[in-house]
Chains A and B, each alone.
Chain A
Amino acid sequence: MLANVFTKSVVDRWRGMTVAAVGLGAMLWLGMLAYSELDLTVYEDLPDVMRSLINIGEDLDAGGLAYGAIYASYGTLTLASLALSIGSRSIAGEEEDRTIAVLLANPVGRGSVLLQKLGSMLVLVGAGAVVLWLAGLAVPVMLGVDVGDKHVGALVVHMYTAAVFFGALAAAIGGWTGRRALASGTTALIMVGSFLADGIFPVVGWDGALRFVPWHWFQGGDPVSNGVQWGGLGLLVGAAAALAVAAVVAVDRRDLGTGRSSGGVRDRLEALPGVGALLERLAGTTRARRIWSKTLADHQALVVIVASTLVFFGVVMGPMFLAIDDALTQFMDQVPEAILAMVGYADMSTPEGWYQTENFSVTVPIALMIATITMGARALAGEEADRTMGLLLGNPVSRRRIVVEKSLAMALVALGLGLATFLGTYLGSLAAGLGMSPARILATSLLAGLLAFVMGLLALAIGAATGRVATAAVGAAGVALLAYVVDAFFPLAESLEGLAAWSPFHYYLSADPLNAGMPWGHAALLAVLAVLLLIGAVVLFERRDLRLAD
């Protein structure tokens, strides 16, 4: 099984890839089921810019819509996330874990290690793509949906190539810097940014800038309708190869890291006179007084990045609303509310509808949940994996208190990020003179925080039960994605509409809080869910043997 670096890397990862691929296949099934029951002719009246915004291709049938939404968007983001995780860990991860020394004490070259890891990425992502391809062919047959002439194979090839590109990018950054978090963070930012840009640029009339957007190389030309687009594919393959070469060159030239904490931006800043004490206070090393305050301090960097992202997106969406294509605004004026509701999108000719579609429906919950699910997954399972839980529990603190204090830290983060969301959106509204109601923005932002808190607690509870960080993170993220799909797609079909109420996402935007204010009943329901998860986490954690890290 562990014949070489390549096979070990494959063995380490195949489970995650299998879960992701099967999950995406299941989601395609759900999405296609919903679309197949819907009268899709309403989509024909949508202008091109709006289709671009919501990632809808040229073919307006159940097949085209489901492949576009589930595969091209979520599927590619998922495949690419797995690829970038492998890419960023390829060398930098071994440096972080301090395993690089033992590995390279064997007669294997650095370049060979890197190439074998990249090879494992090609194979793993390829296997995932094959599963997606088979599911893409099987689902319409199982549902008896006529998808017409669709190029599922071409779409999957494009998805695969895009994922490999982002993986190679992460490997190159990790190869140059030796810093895994920097590599995965930067690549994720470029990935999500280019995904959003591909949707938004055409709407605001920046079509020319699309050629610099990697997501457009992959999505441009609508491969699911028109087959393989050789131009975009060639760009992705060429760029990925160049990045892989850059990674190998870089790794061969630099000093390897020891995984120690020094050498970061912060340490360099701390060396400057006067800056050290200030950073110390900001970073909270002196705040390690209680479990909850230490937990906050541990995640400060993540929270600051997510908060800045939320403020940034909130602010720029305001002026961007003013720049929307007039055609869209005029069109929206003419479309009856009922049809918009049926399509599942708010009236984008109003500031509230624009903010809801472009900011609150996807970006805000994703950003918030990255923070809370990370915190939740690491809360208990992370201390077990780091082997600090035994030391912590050597003190007279009960397991219940640890769960409660870590949850408190997560609640404070969710609240803080909710306030950051409010701040950004309110500033955006002020800057563009949109006149949105601050109280309603606040209500919506806090609901987003509450929803993210619930998902974070789910991760914490899974970690409490299993002691495994990866299980907790993947489990909670999977549930979140499924809950999102259920809430987003089930209301489209009459027979499934009632089931949407089972998704926690339903209690976030379904009552239209940006226009109607805080739905207290929905907020209370999410709060009750949070309390139940917290109780569950305490019970599960108290009953269990602590793990020895493996």
Chain B
Amino acid sequence: MTPDLAIDTDGLTKHYGHVEALVDLDLDVRVGEVFGFLGPNGAGKTTTIRTLLDEIRPTAGTATVLGMDSHRRSLEIRSRIGYLPGDLAMYPRLTGRDTLAYFANLRGGVDWSYVDELADRLDADLSKKVGDLSSGNRQKVGIIQAFMHRPDLLIMDEPSSGLDPLVQREFQDLMRDVTASGRTVFLSSHTLSEVQRVADRVGIIRRGRLVAVEAVSDLRSKATRRVEFELGSPVDRAVFVGVPGVRDVEVRNHHVTLAYEGTIDALLTTVAERYEVIDIATREADLEEIFLTYYVDQDE
């Protein structure tokens, strides 16, 4: 049986005393996608991941991973996933290679030529003791550890912390390789730009509650874009205010800045009819902005 969902939680709830770390979380991660799990610090990302790994047990609700109950069949689950914990710590007195050998032995079925390939791609030094590595280089060992047995599902908590931009790009390619072979990636992050580049869908979590799940492409089309015109004569604000989809109009002498949603066609027609257009600059809002919008809206 191949389940359609790599991760499926149903009313997942975790309380620590009176603190509600997770509330009624219903999360679906499809097989073969990169799912980005976004939220600010303390939102419940790590709590969710630790529940999936059976490190902690839910107060209520269930979670299935690769079609198996996260608690009862944890051992089978763990034989098929790769895991990179947040705030990674390893054994400081082992070298990178010894660390990987230890985990490879516990797991079995690791192809060492693939380990070497991963080390090569990430430019990781496996001969040094982990305790002597910088945090970024230590993170590389953790990433190799998660990828080395070609797991069906990768669960990674803030995976690119400490990595330099070049290595981050290589890491993103690695994630795309995983989904290209029909496997799944679940990564948590507060670095939105990273998720934007690799994720197919994102779920946004906030104060233990799932606020939204959207395809990255849908988010983009919903996104508000901003445009700035430099025009041949002083601008009349009233001209712009009536155009469908336009808001936040700011006028300063020959300049106008505004936000719009949907296609730009109506706006361009209006401008071209009345003014001589000297320059135009447009910018797509990134997830960061969308993300902030979610919070600003909900914080009222």
What is the CB-to-nearest-CB distance from A303 to chain B, in angstroms, rounded to a whole number?
A: 15
- Of chain B, the residue at the smallest CB distance from A261 is B131
State in angstroms the CA–CA spacing of A548 and B87 once bound together: 10
| Given A261-B132, A393-B53, A394-B78: A288 touches B102 (CB 8 Å cut-off) | yes
Residues of B near any A CB (own CB < 8 A) = 46, 50, 53-57, 74-76, 78-79, 81-83, 85, 87-95, 98-99, 101-103, 105-107, 129, 131-132, 142, 145-146
Kindly identify, within residues 348 to 403 of chain A, every residue whose CB is under 8 Å from any CB belonging to chain B.
386-398
Please indicate the chain B residues that have their CB under 8 angstroms from the CB of A226 in the complex: none
Tell me the nearest residue of chain A to B56, going by C-beta: A545
Closest B residue to A390 by CB, please name it.
B85
Contact with B along A241-266 (1 / 0, CB 8 A): 00000000000000000001110000
Would B101 and A390 count as touching, CB distance under 8 A?
no
Contact size range, A: 20 to 34
Q: Is the CB of B131 within 8 A of A395?
A: no
* Cα of A260 to Cα of B134 in the assembled complex, Å: 10
Q: B89 near A286 (CB under 8 angstroms)?
A: no
Docked CA distance A395–B102 (Å)? 10
Chain B residues with CB below 8 A from A393, complex form: 53-55, 78
Given contacts A285-B93, A396-B75, A546-B50, contact A391 B145 (CB under 8 A): yes
Cα distance A86–B131 when bound, in Å? 25
20 contacts between A and B (CB under 8 A): A260-B132, A288-B91, A288-B98, A288-B102, A289-B101, A298-B91, A387-B87, A387-B89, A390-B85, A391-B85, A393-B53, A394-B78, A394-B81, A394-B146, A395-B106, A396-B75, A398-B74, A398-B75, A545-B55, A548-B50
Which residues of the partner chain A approach B53 to less than 8 Å between Cβ atoms? 390, 393-394
Given known contacts A391-B90, A393-B55, A289 and B78 CB-to-CB distance under 8 angstroms:
no
- Kindly state the separation between the CA atoms of A397 and B90 in the bound complex, as whole angstroms: 17
Specify which chain A residues have a CB less than 8 angstroms from the CB of B129 in the assembled complex.
261-262
- Nearest 3 CB-CB pairs, A to B? A394-B83, A396-B79, A387-B89
Specify which chain A residues have a CB less than 8 angstroms from the CB of B103 in the assembled complex. 391, 395
Interchain CB contact under 8 A, A546 and B106: no
B89 to A391, Cβ gap below 8 A? yes
Beyond A288-B94, A386-B91, A391-B142, 8 additional pairs, beta carbon < 8 A: A285-B98, A387-B88, A389-B55, A390-B55, A391-B90, A394-B82, A395-B107, A546-B55
A387 contacts which chain B residues (CB < 8 A)? 85, 87-89
Task: Give the dominant DSSP class at A's interface.
Answer: loop
Q: Is the CB of B105 within 8 A of A289?
A: yes
Give the distance to chain B from A73, nearest Cβ to Cβ, in Å. 37
Nearest A residue to B51 via CB reads A545
CB distance from A396 to the nearest CB of B (A): 4
The residues of A that contact B94 with a CB separation of less than 8 Å are 285, 288
CA distance A537 to B142 in the complex (A): 29
Partner of A391, one of B50, B88, B92, B98: B88
* A291 at the B interface (CB under 8 A): yes
Bound: A387/B157 CA distance, A: 14
Interface residue? A13 (CB, 8 A): no
Cα separation A392 to B88 with both chains bound (whole Å): 12
Report if A546-B88 is in contact (Cβ < 8 Å); known contacts: A285-B95, A286-B98, A288-B98. Answer: no
Contacts of B74 in A (CB 8 A): 398
- The minimal Cβ–Cβ distance linking A48 to chain B, given in whole angstroms, is 50
CA distance A291 to B85 in the complex (A): 19
User: Cβ of A548: which chain B residues have Cβ within 8 Å of it?
Assistant: 46, 50
Q: Quick check: is A110 within 8 A (CB to CB) of the other chain?
A: no
**Complex Cα–Cα for A549 and B46 (A):** 13
Supposing A285-B98, A288-B101, A387-B87 touch, asked if A262 and B106 sit within 8 A by C-beta, the answer is: no
Residues of B within 8 A of A288 (CB): 91, 94, 98-99, 101-102
Task: List the B side residues contacting A549 at CB < 8 Å.
Answer: 89
Which B residues are CB-close (under 8 A) to A388? 89-91
Q: Whose C-beta in chain B lies nearest to the C-beta of A549?
A: B89
| B87 / chain A contacts, CB cutoff of 8 Å | 387
CB distance from B152 to the nearest CB of A (A): 13
A150 proximal to B (CB < 8 A): no
Partner of A546, one of B56, B92, B107: B56
A2 to B43, CA, bound (A): 28
CB closest residue in chain A, given B95: A285
Chain B residues whose C-beta falls within 8 Å of the C-beta of A285 in the assembled complex: 93-95, 98
Shortest Cβ gap from A278 to chain B (Å): 17
Q: Is A294 engaged at the interface, CB distance under 8 Å to the other chain?
A: yes
> Which of B87, B92, B102, B142 has its CB near the most chain A CB atoms (within 10 A)?
B102
Q: Give Cα A396–Cα B46 distance, bound, in whole angstroms.
A: 20
A378 CB, nearest partner CB in chain B, Å: 12
**Please, how many angstroms separate the alpha-carbon atoms of A288 and B95 in the complex?**
10
Q: How far is the CB of A234 from chain B (nearest CB, A)?
A: 44
Task: Tell me whether B50 and A289 are in contact (CB under 8 A).
Answer: no
What residues on A are CB-neighbors of B79 within 8 Å?
A: 396
Query: How far, in angstroms, from A392 to B91 measured CA to CA in the complex?
Result: 10
Cβ–Cβ < 8 Å partners of B56 in chain A: 545-546
User: A388–B55 Cα gap in the complex (Å)?
Assistant: 12
**What 1/0 flags go to A279-304 for Cβ under 8 Å of B?**
00000011011110010001000000
